[in-house]
Amino acid sequence: MTAAATPASPPATTGGQPGVRLARSRRNAELSLLLLAMVLVAAYAAMVEANVLETVTPDFWVPAAALSAVFLGLHVAIRFLAPFADPALLPAVALLNGLGVGFLRRLDLARATPVERADLAIFAGTGGRQLAWTLASVVLAAGLLLVVRDHRSISRYAYTLGLAGIVLVMIPAVLPSSISEINGAKLWVRVGSFSIQPGEFAKLALLAFFAYYLVRKREVLSLASRRILGVDFPRGRDLGPVVVVWLISLLVLVFEKDLGTSLLYFGMFVVTLYIATERVSWLLIGLVLFFGGAYLAYVLGSTVGGPFANFYLRAEIWLDPFADPYEDGYQLVQGLLALGTGGLFGAGPGGGQPLKLPEVQNDFIFAGIGEEIGLFGLSALLVIYLLIVERGLRAALAVRDSFGKLLAGGLAFTLGLQVFVIVGGISKLIPLTGQTTPFLSAGGSSLMANWLLIALLLRVSDGARRPVTGGGGGVARPAGAPPEQLHGAPTEVIKP
Amino acid sequence: MNAPLRRVGVVVIVLFGLLFANLNWIQAYKADEYRNSDYNGRVQVAEYKRKRGNIEAGGTAFAVSKETSGELTFLRTYPGGAQYAHVLGYKPVNLADTGIEKSENDFLAGTSDQLIANRVKDLFTGDQTAGGNVLLTISKRAQDVAYKQLRDNENGVTKGAAIAIDPRTGAVQALVSMPSFDPNPLASHDTDEATAAYNQLERNPDGPLKNRALGEVLPPGSTFKIVVAAAALENGVTQETQIPAGASYTPPTSGSPIRNAAPSICPESQVTLMNAVTESCNTGFAQLGVRLGADAIKEKARQFGFEQDDLTVGRLGEGGHPVAASRTGSMENADGGDDPAALAQSSIGQRDVRMTPLQGALIAATVANGGSQMRPYLVRQLLGPDRTTDYYTANPRELRRPISGQVATDLREMMVSVVENGTGRNARISGYTVGGKTGTAQSGPNTRDHGWFIGFALDKDGNPVSAVCVLLEEAGSGGSAEAARIGGQIMRAAIADPGSR
């Protein structure tokens, strides 16, 4: 894990492109890992059926096969569109996505009557819908790879994306609650039975904007003016942008009643700012602002109430969920009980009682899965998430241009932070907030946005690992023309 | 920009490390606590997956678990309905369990430590582990008669209780509290339905959920005279000793006179103790009590079992239905000396004297059993799920010995006189010697009197076969005679079917 995060050799310098061996595309490694992941998904489906139905139906493998076809399609697309992309990303994400579909199908089986179970069509139920969304998301991800042949081209639309991001964030806040509120959080746009979470897409758009903006402003922002306790603090007027984003995240907190999204946006911005400027002071300022703001919201919630009451309630539930185990604390208590019941080894896929959990297909899917696969299984899932995040950061390390570094670093960190926020929330590490668990939770918006995020990481990692040949796909050749993107690249890359 | 990127990588590892550590805390350290939490519905599903054992009396199961197709596999049902509700208690899904269902829960559910070998065996054989069976001492026939006679009493009384015990062992032969209730809706898997049924019972002003035979106390009236008579017999009075009586008696410190239930009862200035008991002479016992003093009466009552607040009726000495403490109340002045008015009223079972029907039955049983009071119990045997392994068999034991054999003999003769010549004639059973004492207790200024009967039956050889206490709350005049009639009926049934012990 750690080895993947910090490549041991050769020591990369700023904007480094590590050794020549990266010229290998490693697509066959990706293919075998992907097949292994799909075998695991099929095995999971078989175990679920054995436990829930007490028999394995002849077509248990159909969802796994459908997923395999979709992911293999993406694999082929990557062979043509991003041949040097990181080979671990697709199999890791495919495994999570496949297990998510398998678990949602498991919920459908548990909900269905024995008669309905007999002909649970492949696209029926939550699991089937998730399968359909996976298909759409993967096609979209391939489309992104097709359209965006070089991640730097995104920076051309930075301001458009920034504006779009802010609009997407704000839509649920300004819409009436009847349309935008689900379970106390105003994060949705509901049209009939169909609902999307624009914030999931806003995340990507805003990050692209941040990356572009910070590359442009990094010199100014990293100028130190005062040195306090050995830390360089920026000038007051340079604080403008960070204060603006802080306010936006607080508005999200107050009007969309969602601490998780707020934490996500703010963390995303502060970390990209830190990566861009290399100033620890930004991290400190960010942490102080965020925790100060959260504490203020807590105090205001307990005294003034109003828009802060929801946050205060969530904090109180977090501090003692068992104080009101049937009403306010119900979700968190049931989540903890599910995890505890799972114990070290879990009840086995299909062996638990996930329907005891509220919101088990959304927020609490990690607890629902945890009851069945236990601490060991959940640890493996966390390791897979960590692998994806660290692979993304590795792409950021390896890519040559600053925009790509910020984009990939920010995307990877955001994914990791989202996992932390939701898994920490359901396990009472931090106050619970309504986040989706990437690639596992039911829901098209989240799945689609996260697949786009992965497509961007694939694109950046392709750019990072591609031999410097002056562009184009295909096999690495000795450099003919001087490469365009030599900014900061060490000269040893062109050594034989 | 690579140094901060690496540090961000470290930060993510730290964040995931926190998640991992926290999951360890929840899934390893706290796992057992969460798994067995009261809020964890999974525990319940697992509990209801296992077939709970029967509770049986006289070879018939009165609490059985039936398989359903719901999420909770086994439904607890009570074929005896209201007739056995206060004997068994009940085991709801979402409400508190009570009675034998509660006290023997571990054995019935199969989770008892005693059954561990059985569970291990099932683990290897793959059999579905079931719970053990509880066999009660109840006599089906006596229970049937007690329930029906009480329900259909001739005074139209709606509240009351009856309990019969075997004087030689303490085994409970019948236990009825009226009004009763059907426990089946309470055990419904539809928790809303169960809650609604419970709330309805809870709101009922007659209190059907109360176990009046064990858990409620009322003034015992003249039945308490047996305790006073026992104290007198131990203080130099004999059956033939003349004690002061009269049409009325006014204690020295009180303006209100004590009178007899009818002018025909002991109007003469002196009667024998035998006659005072037979006729239930209030003026005689009031003066006797004042003469004996509060300490002697309270001590004798305590020896009979008054003031004990930790008695339970279930498995011998190990839980079961809680029994309320019977009380003698205060009979003293503020300065600690006897208050003759209070003492006189207490001596005829009024004032602050309070008794459970069980205590009444225990007094009668003690007298019948030669002065030895056996500990009352309901559970006679615990049978394993296989119905052959015996995990427990009741071994009757003496609870206390309030009176000597001679005093018991004297009291027995006087109580037999009550049934043969006095107020308890309704309790007679042909071929058996029946003794008893009626009681009519004033319940309040605007409510009707409670009718009591405590009694026992002896076979031809003088062996006690049953002791009983019947209470008809607010029965009015004739209440104690009706109680005596019902008591006789119950004992007659208990003689025909003595139950198991």
- The ipTM is 0.87
- Cα–Cα nearest to B6, from A407, A6, A122: A6
Q: Are A328 and A313 in contact (CB under 8 A)?
A: yes
Supply the CATH number for residue B268's domain: 3.40.710.10
Q: Does the pLDDT value for residue A492 go beyond 50?
A: no
Say whether B222 is catalytic: yes
Mutate to test the interface with B, among A320, A386, A417 (most CBs of B within 10 A): A386
Report which of residues A5 and A348 the model is more confident about.
Answer: A348
Q: What is the mean pLDDT of chain B?
A: 90
Give the pLDDT confidence score for residue B388 in this predicted structure.
Answer: 86
Q: Are B469 and B226 in contact (CB under 8 A)?
A: no
- Contact assignment for A427 to B23 by CB distance below 8 Å: yes
> pLDDT tens across A272-301, in order?
888 888 888 878 888 888 888 888 888 888
Question: In this structure, what token pair is assigned to residue A282?
Answer: 């930004």
Residues 6+ apart with CB under 8 A from B464: B166, B167, B168, B365, B368, B369, B456, B457, B458
Q: Does the pLDDT value for residue B295 go beyond 70?
A: yes
- Contact assignment for A393 to B5 by CB distance below 8 Å: yes
- Cα–Cα nearest to A363, from A423, A261, A436: A436
> pLDDT tens across B439-475, in order?
999 877 888 999 999 999 999 888 999 999 999 999 9
Cα dihedral across residues A418, A424, A430, A434: positive or negative: positive
A406 interaction partners in chain B (CB closer than 8 Å): 1
- Cα–Cα nearest to B290, from B234, B343, B244: B343
Q: State percent of chain B over pLDDT 70.
A: 98
Tell me, yes or no, whether B51 lies in a domain.
Answer: no
| DSSP assignment letter at A174 | H
How many of the other CB atoms lie within 10 Å of CB of A64?
A: 22
- Contact assignment for B15 to A417 by CB distance below 8 Å: yes
> pLDDT tens across A443-459, in order?
889 999 999 999 999 99
Give the pLDDT confidence score for residue A185 in this predicted structure.
Answer: 66
A242 confidence band (pLDDT: 50, 70, 90): low
Question: Which SS3 state, helix, strand or coil, does residue B434 take?
Answer: strand
Tell me, yes or no, whether B33 lies in a domain.
Answer: no
Q: Give the CA angle between residues A86, A90, A92 to the nearest 5°.
A: 105
User: By CA distance, what is A428's nearest residue in B?
Assistant: B22
Tell me which residue range forms the domain holding B428: 221-377+398-496
User: By CA distance, what is A334's nearest residue in B?
Assistant: B40
> pLDDT tens across B10-40, in order?
999 999 999 999 999 999 999 888 888 878 8
Report which of residues A359 and A424 the model is more confident about.
Answer: A424
- What does the alpha-carbon distance between residue A405 and residue B154 come to, in Å, rounded to a whole number? 96
- What does the alpha-carbon distance between residue A304 and residue A312 come to, in Å, rounded to a whole number? 10
Tell me, yes or no, whether B293 lies in a domain.
Answer: yes
Across residues B178-207, what is the average pLDDT? 91
For B5, the closest of A405, A424, A429 (CB atoms) is: A405
Cα dihedral angle (A401, A404, A410, A414), rounded to 10 degrees?
A: -150
Give the pLDDT confidence score for residue A118 in this predicted structure.
Answer: 64
- What does the alpha-carbon distance between residue A375 and residue A383 come to, in Å, rounded to a whole number? 12
Residues 6+ apart with CB under 8 A from B370: B405, B408, B409
Across residues A192-213, what is the average pLDDT? 84
For A397, the closest of B2, B30, B37 (CB atoms) is: B2
For A420, the closest of B1, B15, B34 (CB atoms) is: B15
> pLDDT tens across B328-362, in order?
988 887 777 888 888 998 999 998 999 999 999 99
Tell me, yes or no, whether B241 lies in a domain.
Answer: yes
A116 confidence band (pLDDT: 50, 70, 90): confident
How buried is B170 (Cβ within 10 angstroms: 0-12 exposed, 13-18 middle, 19+ buried)? buried
Give the pLDDT confidence score for residue A196 in this predicted structure.
Answer: 82
Q: Does the pLDDT value for residue B212 go beyond 80?
A: yes
Q: What is the mean pLDDT of chain A?
A: 82
Report the phi/psi class of residue B320: left, alpha or beta, with left for phi > 0 and alpha for psi in -120 to 50.
left
B48 interaction partners in chain A (CB closer than 8 Å): none
- Cα–Cα nearest to B75, from B182, B151, B189: B189
Question: In this structure, what token pair is assigned to residue A253?
Answer: 């907190």
B69 interaction partners in chain A (CB closer than 8 Å): none
Across residues B481-498, what is the average pLDDT? 92
How many of the other CB atoms lie within 10 Å of CB of A343?
A: 21
Residue with tokens 């579905």: B128
- Contact assignment for B4 to A5 by CB distance below 8 Å: no
Residues 6+ apart with CB under 8 A from B418: B277, B278, B280, B424, B435, B436, B437, B438
For A278, the closest of B1, B24, B28 (CB atoms) is: B1
CA distance A337 to chain B (A): 5
Report which of residues A337 and B70 the model is more confident about.
Answer: A337
Give the pLDDT confidence score for residue B303 in this predicted structure.
Answer: 95
Residues 6+ apart with CB under 8 A from A116: none
Give the pLDDT confidence score for residue B456 in this predicted structure.
Answer: 96
Bond before B179 cis per omega within 30 degrees: yes
B36 interaction partners in chain A (CB closer than 8 Å): none
B20 interaction partners in chain A (CB closer than 8 Å): 379, 382
Give the pLDDT confidence score for residue B402 in this predicted structure.
Answer: 94
Tell me how far CA of residue A456 lies from CA of B43, B228, B269, in angstroms. 46, 97, 114
The one catalytic residue among B112, B139, B177, B222? B222
Across residues A429-442, what is the average pLDDT? 88
CB pairs under 8 A between A and B: 143
- Contact assignment for A278 to B45 by CB distance below 8 Å: no
- Amino acid (1-letter code) at residue A107: L
Tell me how far CA of residue B444 lies from CA of A349, B181, B248, B262, B349, in angstroms. 67, 27, 21, 19, 14
Tell me, yes or no, whether B121 lies in a domain.
Answer: no
Q: Does the pLDDT value for residue A417 go beyond 60?
A: yes
Among A12-26, A381-395, B201-215, the range scoring the smallest mean pLDDT is A12-26
- What does the alpha-carbon distance between residue B358 and residue B79 come to, in Å, rounded to a whole number? 25
Question: In this structure, what token pair is assigned to residue A465?
Answer: 């690992």
A264 interaction partners in chain B (CB closer than 8 Å): none
- Contact assignment for A337 to B2 by CB distance below 8 Å: no
Among A67-76, A404-413, B76-85, B386-395, the range scoring the smallest mean pLDDT is B386-395
Q: Does the pLDDT value for residue A20 go beyond 60?
A: no
- Cα–Cα nearest to A416, from A383, A378, A379, A444: A383
A1 interaction partners in chain B (CB closer than 8 Å): 13
Residue with tokens 């009352």: B376
Give the pLDDT confidence score for residue B289 in this predicted structure.
Answer: 92
- What does the alpha-carbon distance between residue B366 and residue B377 come to, in Å, rounded to a whole number? 15
Question: In this structure, what token pair is assigned to residue B490?
Answer: 């119950």
- Contact assignment for A275 to B30 by CB distance below 8 Å: no
Question: In this structure, what token pair is assigned to residue B2?
Answer: 């690579």
Across residues B143-147, what is the average pLDDT? 95
- Contact assignment for B22 to A379 by CB distance below 8 Å: no
Q: Does the pLDDT value for residue A480 go beyond 60?
A: no
Tell me, yes or no, whether B46 lies in a domain.
Answer: no
Tell me, yes or no, whether B301 lies in a domain.
Answer: yes
Give the pLDDT confidence score for residue A159 in this predicted structure.
Answer: 86
Q: Does the pLDDT value for residue B434 go beyond 90?
A: yes
Number of domains in chain B: 1
A387 confidence band (pLDDT: 50, 70, 90): very high
Across residues B426-431, what is the average pLDDT? 89
Tell me, yes or no, whether B432 lies in a domain.
Answer: yes
- What does the alpha-carbon distance between residue B288 and residue B270 come to, in Å, rounded to a whole number? 11
Q: Does the pLDDT value for residue A477 go beyond 80?
A: no
pTM of the predicted protein model: 0.64
Give the pLDDT confidence score for residue A183 in this predicted structure.
Answer: 65
Q: Does the pLDDT value for residue A472 go beyond 90?
A: no
- Contact assignment for B9 to A278 by CB distance below 8 Å: no
- Contact assignment for B12 to A386 by CB distance below 8 Å: yes
- What does the alpha-carbon distance between residue B482 and residue B494 come to, in Å, rounded to a whole number? 18
Q: Give the CA angle between residues A383, A386, A392 to the nearest 5°.
A: 145
Q: Does the pLDDT value for residue A187 go beyond 80?
A: no
A216 confidence band (pLDDT: 50, 70, 90): confident
- What does the alpha-carbon distance between residue A127 and residue A89 come to, in Å, rounded to a whole number? 23
Residue with tokens 């130099």: B236
Give the pLDDT confidence score for residue A224 in this predicted structure.
Answer: 58
- Amino acid (1-letter code) at residue A175: L
> pLDDT tens across B244-278, in order?
988 888 888 766 888 888 888 888 889 999 999 99
Report which of residues A311 and B134 the model is more confident about.
Answer: B134
Q: Which residues of B touch A (CB under 8 A)?
A: 1-6, 8-13, 15-16, 18-20, 22-24, 26-28, 30-35, 37, 39-42, 45
Give the pLDDT confidence score for residue B121 in this predicted structure.
Answer: 74
For A14, the closest of B1, B11, B45 (CB atoms) is: B1
Bond before B220 cis per omega within 30 degrees: no
Q: Are A444 and A282 in contact (CB under 8 A)?
A: no
